[in-house]
């Protein structure tokens, strides 16, 4: 993994994710050089300096993008807004939930995203899923081909947002293989928690079922070919949803997460790396808990023990051989427990292939392509067998 901040895994992870989403090395290097001293102080201290440097970089691109748009250079403008979206996103997700300026950065990120979509005429439709009294939004990417297409529901992890999923390229990769994707800001992430106050829940099948309800209303989606996938903590959410929502026809865990509750005890003992600064504030915010003690008492509920056995559809698990956040043993535990899946596969990515870090943050392409191929091939097999 590219490590511009030696010894600071959390900041390095953020930079690598920005690269995977299409950030410019030159732009990021310029911002990061001013942060080296702050990074050496640890993952929590100095995050406000990180925030300022990356937001300044994003704001400059917004100005340049507007200049291009005014000159009628819409595609050039869209590229600048894309990178601005990535940089605002990266700055915002590294901050404490109590850091007030992140709200404006999040708003700027959403605005830059929409400008990129509109000016670039991107295959990206903003949609709304009915759920309770608030609902939650998603981004729909239509698959190539005529008639209704198979569709994947792609959920987030602990700290990602739907725009991160979009810029990862998985929707485009699936689209070129004839499969649509809806990427959702479900309870606990993105707009759902930031703008609508929806905390995370262990029962992911509830919001996943609401997403299937939405997809069944679309004439461009084949209702009998809907799958569920997720990355990072989505490696818990997606299998849990597939286990209890019978309308899902396949499932992908992009990074296994067999026993996230158990993992919290290890992290409290400072074993393994964490995804974001201010980690314990972040997890309490996501799950709507008011103290570390309350969160730790709740965390054991986030487990796939005695759940994976209920999956009765094709199931793919991918995991990086050098995942420093989620132990590789969790990938084997999920695979070994999936005894009722008619087609289960565990793919561990090696140094030779790339994608060895958590959710392939070091090199997303080989894992993204592998997953897209597996999904397309599995849907095709279903069509042949009826």
- Interatomic CA distance for residues 298 and 286, integer angstroms: 12
For each of the domains in the chain, give its residue range(s) and CATH number, in order of start: 9-120 (1.20.1440), 125-385 (3.40.50.1820)
> How many residues comprise the chain?
386
How does pLDDT run along the chain (386 residues), one tens digit per residue?
A: 899 999 899 999 999 999 999 999 999 999 999 898 888 887 778 899 999 999 999 999 999 999 999 999 999 999 999 999 999 999 999 999 999 999 999 999 999 999 999 999 999 999 999 999 989 999 999 999 999 999 999 999 999 999 999 999 999 999 999 999 999 999 999 999 999 999 999 999 999 999 999 999 999 999 999 999 999 999 999 999 999 999 999 999 999 999 999 999 998 888 667 788 899 999 999 999 999 999 999 999 999 999 999 999 999 999 999 999 999 999 999 999 999 999 999 999 999 999 999 999 999 999 999 999 999 999 999 988 86
pTM here is: 0.96
- Sheet strand arrangement including 315-320: 125-129, 136-141, 180-184, 149-155, 221-231, 248-254, 315-320, 344-349
- Asked if residues 191 and 114 have their Cβ atoms less than 8 Å apart, the reply is no
Question: 150 vs 139, 181, 218, 222, 294, CA distance in Å?
Answer: 16, 9, 12, 5, 41
pLDDT at residue number 39:
80
- Interatomic CA distance for residues 310 and 308, integer angstroms: 5
């Amino acid at each position: 993994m590219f490590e511009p901040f030696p010894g600071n895994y959390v900041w390095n992870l953020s930079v690598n994710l920005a690269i995977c989403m299409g950030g410019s090395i030159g732009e990021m290097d310029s911002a990061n050089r001013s942060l080296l001293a702050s990074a050496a102080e640890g993952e929590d201290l100095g995050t406000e300096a990180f925030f300022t440097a990356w937001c300044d970089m994003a704001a400059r691109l917004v100005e340049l993008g507007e200049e291009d748009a005014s000159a009628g250079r819409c595609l050039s403008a869209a590229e600048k807004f894309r990178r601005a979206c990535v940089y605002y996103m990266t700055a915002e997700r590294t901050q404490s939930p109590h850091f007030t300026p992140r709200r404006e950065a999040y708003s700027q990120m959403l605005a830059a995203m929409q400008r990129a979509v509109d000016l670039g005429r991107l295959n990206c439709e903003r949609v709304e899923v009915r759920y309770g009294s608030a609902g939650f939004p998603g981004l729909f990417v239509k698959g190539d081909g005529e008639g209704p297409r198979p569709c994947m529901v792609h959920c987030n992890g602990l700290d990602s947002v739907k725009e991160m999923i979009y810029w990862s390229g998985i929707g485009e990769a699936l689209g070129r293989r004839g499969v649509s994707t809806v990427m959702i800001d479900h309870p606990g992430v993105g707009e759902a928690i930031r703008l609508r106050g929806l905390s995370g829940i262990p029962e992911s099948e509830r919001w996943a079922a609401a997403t299937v309800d939405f997809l069944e209303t679309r004439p461009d989606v084949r209702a009998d070919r809907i799958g569920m996938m997720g990355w990072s903590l989505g490696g818990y959410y997606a299998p849990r949803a597939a286990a209890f929502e019978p309308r899902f026809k396949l499932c992908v865990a992009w990074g296994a997460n067999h026993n996230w509750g158990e993992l919290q005890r290890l992290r409290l003992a400072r074993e393994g790396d964490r995804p974001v600064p201010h980690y314990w504030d972040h997890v309490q915010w996501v799950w709507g808990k008011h103290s570390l003690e309350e969160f730790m008492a709740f965390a054991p509920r986030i487990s796939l023990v005695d759940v994976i056995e209920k999956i009765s559809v094709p199931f793919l698990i991918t995991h990086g051989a050098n995942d420093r956040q989620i132990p590789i043993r969790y990938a084997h535990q999920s695979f070994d427990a999936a005894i009722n899946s008619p087609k289960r596969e565990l793919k561990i990515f090696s140094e030779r292939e790339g994608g060895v870090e958590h959710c392939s943050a070091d090199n997303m392409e080989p894992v993204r392509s592998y997953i897209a191929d597996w999904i397309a091939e599995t849907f095709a097999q279903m069509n042949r067998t009826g």
